[in-house]
């Protein structure tokens, strides 16, 4: 049993576990060094030796309680045959969806294409301290669909006209996509991951009437799938504000990661029956130490009597200074906050 699984199952809650979304990434000079030599991001994700090495970088540096496998949610559309390119300052761009080949790919072929991810998990697990958790992840179906169908406009708002136009197609594809995601989750568990996080980063784009079909229901299917494998699961339906309460009621994950727009006191008083994780704005880590410590103290105090995993309300920003991250972790561990 790992630190996170023990904590989530209530077997050992003596310390607040600490890990960060995007803990392996551009804010680390050791990551940038590897990245510079590997300009193709998807290829880098598919290099199991480098993926394992990058996964372990923040563990070596900060001795965090959990590693999250270095990969990307867009590896799934890639495995289904879409081209995925990461353009500098523009984010990911996916090629036009080819309706003839997309989703026509067999489960074995899909798993075969993603084999390097599973090899990376095996390699990481061998090198990672047994006590530490290894988190696998998938993008939630809605968030993947926003990329697969380019449903976001350049200002990151929903392209409502396009959404309305393809809604029927989306509903059909959604169910098939869920099956591939189950396969990807199963393969990651088989390779040695012991916790799963489901990222629904664009849940906040959904009109209220569509939340049930496109967010709650697909997340619930995947959460139940993880639970059926006895693997704790963390949900992150970013941007849904007060609907977090309904989400937890309906989806019932083992852990809910709140985003930086959620008032932590509101979360404490309204979200029931799950562990809470994260919440603090990653921008806080760009501020001076006083501000960082005050804000961290706020979260730790508010969740003092609740099962709480320290993390952020979204991923660490590339401009974060790793020394500040180190200081923060040490202070939390030494109860100096
Ligand atoms: O958290 C970790 O350290 C594990 C690795 C991880 C990455 N992406 C590596 C990555 C995880 C869990 C993700 C998830 C992911 N990817 C999400 C969900 C979480 C979130 O951030 O909302 C989303 C929406 C994506 C899609 C994606 N991948 C985007 C939008 C981008 C470009 C902009 C950005 O946010 O960085 C990526 C690229 C990416 N994924 C990088 C890393 C380290 C940066 C690649 C680079 O060096 O340019």
| pLDDT tens-place string over residues 265-298 | 999 999 989 999 999 999 999 999 999 999 999 9
Query: Rounded to whole angstroms, how far apart are CA atoms 96 and 85?
Result: 12
Query: Rounded to whole angstroms, how far apart are CA atoms 67 and 20?
Result: 9
* Mean model confidence pLDDT for the chain: 96
Q: What pLDDT is recorded for position 259?
A: 98
Q: What pLDDT is recorded for position 336?
A: 82
Ligand 1 atom with minimal separation from the 74 CA: 26
Q: What pLDDT is recorded for position 75?
A: 98
Decide: 322 in ligand 1 pocket, CB within 6 A: no
Query: Rounded to whole angstroms, how far apart are CA atoms 81 and 78?
Result: 5
- Cα 11 to middle of ligand 1, angstroms: 32
Residue 43 tokens, joined: 């290829």
How many angstroms separate the Cα of 35 from the Cα of each of 41, 156, 271? 8, 26, 39
Q: What pLDDT is recorded for position 101?
A: 66
Decide: 21 in ligand 1 pocket, CB within 6 A: yes
Q: Whose CA is nearest to atom 10 of ligand 1?
A: 72
Which residues 6+ apart lie within 8 Å of 197 measured at CB?
68, 135, 136, 137, 233, 234, 235, 236, 257
Q: What pLDDT is recorded for position 143?
A: 98
Regions of the chain short of the pLDDT cut 70 = 99-101
Q: Whose CA is nearest to atom 8 of ligand 1?
A: 72
- Cα 271 to middle of ligand 1, angstroms: 27
Q: What pLDDT is recorded for position 35?
A: 97
- Cα 74 to middle of ligand 1, angstroms: 9
- Cα 71 to middle of ligand 1, angstroms: 8
Q: What pLDDT is recorded for position 221?
A: 98
Q: What pLDDT is recorded for position 113?
A: 97
């Amino acid at each position: 049993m790992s630190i996170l699984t023990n904590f989530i199952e209530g077997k050992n809650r003596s310390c607040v576990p600490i890990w960060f979304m995007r803990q392996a990434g551009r804010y680390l000079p050791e990551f940038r060094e590897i990245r510079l030599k590997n300009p193709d991001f998807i290829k880098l994700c598919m290099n199991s030796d480098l993926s394992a090495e990058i996964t372990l970088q923040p563990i070596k540096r900060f001795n965090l309680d959990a590693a999250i496998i270095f990969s990307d949610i867009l590896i799934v559309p890639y495995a289904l045959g879409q081209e995925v390119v990461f353009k500098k300052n523009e984010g990911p761009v996916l090629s036009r969806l080819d309706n003839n080949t997309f989703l026509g790919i067999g489960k074995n072929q899909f798993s075969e294409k993603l084999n390097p991810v599973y090899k990376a998990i095996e390699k990481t697990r061998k090198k990672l301290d047994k006590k530490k958790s290894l988190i696998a992840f998938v993008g939630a179906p809605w968030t993947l669909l926003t990329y697969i169908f380019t449903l976001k406009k350049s200002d990151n708002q929903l392209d409502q006209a396009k959404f309305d136009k393809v809604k029927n197609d989306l509903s059909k594809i959604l169910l098939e996509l869920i099956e591939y995601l189950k396969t990807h989750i199963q393969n990651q568990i088989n390779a040695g991951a012991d916790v799963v996080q489901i990222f629904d980063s664009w849940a906040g784009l959904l009109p209220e009437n569509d939340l049930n079909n496109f967010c709650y229901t697909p997340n619930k299917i995947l959460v139940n799938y993880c639970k059926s494998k006895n693997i704790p699961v963390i949900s992150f339906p970013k941007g849904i504000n007060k609907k977090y309460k309904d989400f937890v009621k309906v989806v019932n994950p083992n852990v809910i990661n709140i985003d930086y727009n959620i008032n932590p006191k509101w979360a404490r008083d309204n979200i029931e029956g799950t562990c809470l994780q994260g919440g603090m704005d990653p921008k806080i880590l760009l501020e001076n130490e006083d501000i960082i410590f005050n804000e961290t103290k706020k979260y730790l105090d508010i969740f003092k009597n609740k099962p709480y995993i320290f993390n952020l309300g979204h991923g660490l920003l590339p401009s974060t200074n790793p020394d500040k991250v180190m200081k923060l972790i040490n202070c939390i561990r030494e109860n100096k906050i």
